[in-house]
Amino acid sequence: MKSIKYGDIVVVTGVDRLARATLHLLRTVDTITNAGAEFRSLADSWCDTTTPHGKLILTVLAGLAEFERSLIMLRT
């Protein structure tokens, strides 16, 4: 992650190889995009920040993960 630079594309075979939880995936993808790089999963076509559709899906997932965290905090 430290060697990622602007213009790079980080490619993984599947999202499960990068993260085990949605929140961890979103944080990792955020780190990648903040470095100026893009992210793509070969097995999961919805997880691709190089396309507008992939960015939309990741944004929706981020919202759902934040909502889930809020519900968990309310319950505890």
**CATH number for the domain including 62?**
3.40.50.1390
> pLDDT value at position 4?
94
Residue 68 domain boundaries: 9-75
Residue 24 placed within a domain: yes
In a domain, 33, yes or no: yes
Q: Is the dihedral of CA 18, 9, 31, 65 positive or negative?
A: negative
Task: Determine the Cα angle at 61 with ends 34 and 63, to 5°.
Answer: 85
Q: What is the pLDDT of residue 39?
A: 93
Domain total for the chain? 1
pTM as predicted: 0.74
pLDDT along the chain (76 residues), means of 10: 92 87 85 94 88 89 84 90
The answer as to whether 23 is a domain residue is yes
